[in-house]
Structure 1
Amino acid sequence: MQKTSVKDIDLLDSLSTAVVVLDGELKITYVNHAAQTLLETSVNQLLGFPFRQFFAHASLDMQRLDEALQNGDDFSDSEVQLAFNDGRFVLADLTVTSIEFNAAPALLLEVRKIDQQRRISQESQQWAQQQAARELVRGLAHEIKNPLGGIRGAAQLLEKQLDSPDTTEFTQMIIEQSDRLRNLVDRLLGPNVPPNFQWHNVHRVLEKIRTLVNLDSSHSVQVIRDYDPSIPDLWLDQDMLQQAVLNIVRNAVQVLCEQPDGEIHLVTRIERQMTIHGVRHPLVAQIKISDNGPGIPAEIRDTLFYPMVTGKKDGTGLGLSIAQTLVDQHRGKIELESWPGHTEFTLYLPIDKKDSTE
């Protein structure tokens, strides 16, 4: 266990890394300036309060902090999810060191926010993997469609030569199942109609979805809106965008339908200086679709947008893949953050000047 003096602690104020010292009860006994900025809380409202109370969720196992304190252990954890009570979300690398502070065992936490460049790099890698998976599925889909057409045609010819109703039943089954598989393959290939881009108010698209879901009497889920009226018209295909958002909202409704207090929030904001697939945009429209469901399992979170990946028993795993494809056609992207009790999909769409597309 390292001993830390008051003089050493004073030097921590000059660091850009957030530093927090926790006492034996995991209450905050010191924060440097960077930590106050990270927590967006003044020192007077931090000292003496339990560290965990400032987070709605943290992927860090708090029991691990207890064990480190008791055993004098040190450890590090990368890409820790920190969701604050005010709705903010931070991805950070964390280092925990056992120290002696004010003559008592304590923990020194170093929290380093993952910088924007690293997130952009991760996003580019994930997008490239998704594109590769999509191309693989498309190749397989085309290979499947050809023999399916032959099987269906052979079944139709065979049906014309058979007189028995019993055997005709079997040929009909072959035709029906071939059609079902062909429909599945067509969905795997995604939309085959070119986009019809025009200037549209994004809130009109969202209002159609909100009204549609709220009028459905088969569930009690409420869709709540929080729009930024300053967002200008966007250059988009309203049917495609509506389908993309509706696929995400329908997934949320299916998860929440068994909850008496299920809520979906549609929030729009303007984001500045956003990089999407390597292109820097001065202004983008941000569409957040969040729900208070159980969250998405960690084991499928990174591959959720791949075709045929789903967390539902009866799901096809195509809804989010199609949504991703539709948003890609708008030069946009979708980000996902999820933890128990909260799932949030964020769509980013470039805001163009009208004279740049005319």
Structure 2
Amino acid sequence: MSDIIRFFETHTCCIIDSWIRRMENAFPGYYNPEKLRQQCARYVILIADIHIPIEQHEVFNDYKKWCDHLFAKRVPIEHILQSSLYFREAFFESVADFQAERAELVSVIADVVYRIDQFQTVVYSYFFDHARGKIEQQDKLIEDMHADKLNLIGKMASSMAHEIRNPLTSIKGFFVLIRKMLPPVALQTIEKYLDIIDNEFRNIEMQITGFLSFSRKPIADETPELTPINALIEKTMLLVNPLLLNENIEFSAHVEEDLQAHIQKIALIQVFSNLMNNAIDALRESDGRQRLITIRAIADGDHIYVRISNTGPEIPAVIQASLFDPFVTGKAEGTGLGLAICKQIVERNDGDITFETNNRETTFTLRFPAPPAANLAQPT
């Protein structure tokens, strides 16, 4: 008779009783003691039959059903981990009373521990694969829900954008006509006001383009091209300068020379404009502090970074985690679409957008892939 068979013939009941006692102390009232005894008795058979490869053992062949039963009962994985630990403790408690030569005792311990580890590895892998499958299903469900929400937003945005664009087309036509019909003297008197109207009109047009980007209309499919970052910033400033002057906000820009990215120019001007307008809105709420907006653009070889900072108040903590989701806003009269549109445009240009905020400064960082060195010739 082998030492392992002799050991389990004399100690199985003690091991099972000790294991059940530990389980009941750890999880009082959670498990049926009689069912625990039946399960442990089968487990002991699996461990004791060391001469049968574990994959060929009849008890092992039922392990998936056992695991599925645990899943259905929503047994936490930590219970499985603890139950295995308690079995080891019960085994070592009993093996201490086993009368055998030292070499025989070491052999029994080594074989039993190896068998336990084999079974544990399989069960944990099965649990992990099952949990991963559940997570993937949940992620797919969330993605589908998000896609449905974006589709609904797209339909709403498309309808709204077209309704706005129709009267704007008429306004633009009459605006051009007014410029042509005014005498030079009269035009010179109001030229600066007309420029402001023109800039604001272009800003509205870009916002409409952003709305249409949610609806995946061809108007949003601008062809990317190699574009100087400095030129984008300059065009953005033409749009927001009147607001900066009106709000008495300081502005500074620090842009490395020859920075270029392969991007959609008009779409990215809209992103810059939106972030600048958000910064201006934030500074309207600043209380007695310096009102400053800073743009910094740098490269690290692999990427180009554009950082737009303002000294306004911190973004509320309650919306930080979902700031780029549609309809999330900290503004009393905001739509919650601006940053969602920015994120979509940036990602469409193979970039990403992040932010940092505290009670001194808020910074939005745009990151784009740097173009290959061979493509760095100045665009025409």
TM-score by length of 2: 0.43
Asked which structure has the greater CA Rg, the reply is 2
More helix by share: 2
TM-score by length of 1: 0.46
More strand by share: 1
